[in-house]
C-alpha cells in the first residue's frame, strides 16, 4: 500500500515535470518558480514561501492553480502525450533500422549470394519502417482528422 502511494506520487511528479517542460511559458513567473522549486528541486512549501516571500498557503494555492493550468492545457492540446508517442515510435524505428543494417551486412558478407529469404525479410522491415515513419508524422500533426483518437 505504501509503495503504491510512493509510486503514484513519483509518477505525478514525473508527469508534472514533463508538462512543465512543455508548457512552462504559459504560467506566470511566480507559478513557474513555485512549480520548479517544488517538483524539480523538491523544496517544501515553507522553503518555497521563504524564497518567494509568500505564505506556505499562498505557495500551495499557486501550485494548485499552476498544476491545474498545466493539466488543462495538456487535456486540450495533448502535446506531451504526442511527444511520448513520438519518442516511442522513434525508438521502435531505431530498432528496425538496426535490424535492417544487420541483415544488409549479412547480405554483403555473403558476397553475391542471392539469399531471397534474407532479402524478403529486409524488404518487410523496410515496409514496417516506412509505416512507422508515417505514424510518427501523424502523432505530431495538428491537422490530422483523428486528432483525439491518437494513431
Q: What are the Cα distances from residue 11, in Å, to 4, 24, 40, 56, 142?
A: 10, 19, 13, 24, 27
Does residue 20 surpass a pLDDT of 90? yes
Do 73 and 88 fall within a single domain?
no
Q: How many residues does the chain have?
A: 151
Do 72 and 85 fall within a single domain?
no
- Residue 151 CA to residue 148 CA, distance in Å, equals 9
Alpha helix stretches (DSSP H) within 24-144: 29-35, 45-52, 56-77, 79-109, 116-139
- Domain final position from 43, 77, 111: 77
The range of the structural domain enclosing residue 43 comes to 2-77
Do 102 and 113 fall within a single domain?
yes
Cβ burial of 143 (10 Å; 0-12, 13-18, 19+) is: exposed
Do 105 and 50 fall within a single domain?
no
Lookup result for grid cell 503514484: 8
Q: How confident is the model at residue 59 (pLDDT cuts 50, 70, 90)?
A: very high
Do 68 and 86 fall within a single domain?
no
- Residue 31 CA to residue 143 CA, distance in Å, equals 31
- Domain final position from 35, 61, 77: 77
Do 93 and 41 fall within a single domain?
no
Q: How confident is the model at residue 64 (pLDDT cuts 50, 70, 90)?
A: very high
Does residue 84 surpass a pLDDT of 90? no
Do 62 and 90 fall within a single domain?
no
Phi, psi for 23 (deg, rounded to 5): -115, 10
What is the model's pLDDT at position 35? 97
Do 29 and 90 fall within a single domain?
no
Do 71 and 106 fall within a single domain?
no
Amino acid at each position: 500500500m505504501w509503495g503504491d502511494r510512493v509510486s503514484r506520487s513519483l509518477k505525478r511528479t514525473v508527469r508534472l515535470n514533463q508538462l512543465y517542460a512543455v508548457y512552462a511559458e504559459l504560467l506566470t513567473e511566480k507559478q513557474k518558480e513555485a512549480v520548479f522549486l517544488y517538483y524539480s528541486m523538491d523544496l517544501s512549501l515553507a522553503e518555497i514561501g521563504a524564497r518567494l516571500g509568500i505564505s506556505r498557503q499562498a505557495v500551495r494555492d499557486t501550485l494548485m492553480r499552476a498544476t491545474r493550468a498545466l493539466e488543462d492545457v495538456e487535456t486540450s492540446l495533448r502535446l506531451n502525450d504526442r511527444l511520448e508517442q513520438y519518442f516511442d515510435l522513434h525508438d521502435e524505428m531505431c530498432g528496425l533500422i538496426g535490424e535492417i543494417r544487420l541483415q544488409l551486412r549479412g547480405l554483403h558478407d555473403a558476397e553475391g549470394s542471392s539469399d531471397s529469404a534474407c532479402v524478403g525479410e529486409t524488404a518487410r522491415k523496410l515496409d514496417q519502417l516506412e509505416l512507422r515513419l508515417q505514424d510518427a508524422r501523424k502523432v505530431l500533426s495538428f491537422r490530422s482528422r483523428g486528432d483525439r483518437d491518437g494513431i
